[in-house]
Amino acid sequence: MPNLPKLSLYIHMPWCIKKCPYCDFNSFVSQTQIPEENYIRHLLNDLSNDISLISERKIDNIFIGGGTPSLFSEKSIQLLLEGVHTRLYVSPFAEITIEANPGTMEINRFDGYQASGVNRISIGIQSFNQKSLQHIDRTYYSNNAIQAIILANTLGLNSFNLDLMHGLPHQTKKEALRDLQVAINLNVPHISWYQLTIEPNTLFSRCRPSLPNEDDLWDIFQKGDQLLHAAGYEQYEISSYSRQGHYCAHNLNYWRFGDYLGIGCGAHGKITQLNGSIIRTEKTKHPRKFMSGCYLYKLSEVCDHDKPFEFFINRFRLLEPIPKNEYRSYTGLLEHSIRAPLDILITKGYLIETDNFWQTTQKGRLFLNSMLEVFLSK
């Protein structure tokens, strides 16, 4: 029997008030009232169909993402989590996160979420600057963002996260760093701070906005990183900074090549089987087809040739050491299967190696794509 990694549950809520011009997630603007009860019923049916893949394993954390899950009522989230608990064994210490946008955060609703077991919120703010919010077509005001964080601080949650972007259209260095300072001043325990990227099949890819130049982006990152460390935040992943004890358990499980069930429109899953094989699932993307009972779009097994890339594309994001025994346990492959690419990375100064672990260097973290390319060559 393989040494199985931890197991998470990801639940996708696909609806938004408005599609952001930079967003390539599987999300849909609701033209009518969201069919909450119907969608929850199909989510739980989807979960029931996947239970055979996990062999009675424990769920260590749950992440409700989207879309905008906080568009759903507290009653709907209660029905959802009650249904999860009746079908799966969820750890009593599980981190249960729900994503929210500032314009949908209401005290009564979030009290209801907490009563259902939610103990962490991830707030998609992106910027505190009203001009920047307008440039990325966000649907709330900067004071809504500040009020959302003040509310999160009063809820007694285990933790909460703030999504903050830099390198926004027409954004100056001063504006980008001011956004970061506002988040620090508001005592946010976890900050996901990342540069805007232009993804294919988005409005910004078709109508490219004016973005800061490469020199300014690098200066923003360096000064922002210094600002966060000086304020007591630890960078534990390429775009994640946390105060002590506030790492995101769900995302850590992704990056450590952990397993996860994915239910809901367009959700992806990765499940290690008892025989050591790794199964990947992808669910039907469109809500209409999903709610007709057609849940599974694709199920496939990860071949041995792809496992090194899949393992390291996650592990290289983390600043922590990569235990060698986890590569063997989680992929079923021996170290000699990746000896040649590892030697290349070590020679280039991207990676250090000891008897027990590998770890990316500061130089390696700046050339992540180059590091991964060595695992794609045949």
Q: Where are the beta strands (DSSP E) in 183-254?
A: 190-195, 234-237, 240-242
- Domain of 158, CATH number, reads 3.20.20.70
Query: Cα(23)–Cα(5) distance, rounded to whole angstroms?
Result: 30
Do 104 and 233 lie in one domain? The reply is yes
Considering only the C-alpha atoms of the chain, give the largest distance between any 2 of them, rounded to a whole number of Å: 59
Q: How far is CA 312 from CA 198, 238, 257, 280, in A?
A: 24, 14, 8, 17
Do 124 and 232 lie in one domain? The reply is yes
Do 238 and 357 lie in one domain? The reply is no
- pLDDT value of residue 128: 93
- Computed over every residue of the chain, the mean pLDDT equals 93
DSSP letter at 57 equals P
In tens, the pLDDT along 275-298 reads 999 999 999 999 999 999 999 999
What's the domain range around 40?
7-253
Q: How confident is the model at residue 104 (pLDDT cuts 50, 70, 90)?
A: low
Query: Cα(34)–Cα(336) distance, rounded to whole angstroms?
Result: 52
Q: What is the pTM of this model?
A: 0.95
Tokens 């049916």 belong to 45
Query: Residue 297: which residues within 8 A CB-CB, separation 6 or more?
Result: 282, 283, 284, 285
Q: How confident is the model at residue 105 (pLDDT cuts 50, 70, 90)?
A: low
Which of 145, 132, 176 shows the shortest CA–CA distance to 21?
A: 132
Query: Residue 164: which residues within 8 A CB-CB, separation 6 or more?
Result: 125, 126, 127, 179, 180, 183, 191, 192, 193, 194
Do 46 and 142 lie in one domain? The reply is yes
Task: With respect to residue 92, please indicate whether it lies within any of the assigned structural domains.
Answer: yes
Query: Cα(257)–Cα(267) distance, rounded to whole angstroms?
Result: 17
Final residue in a domain of this structure, among 218, 253, 288: 253
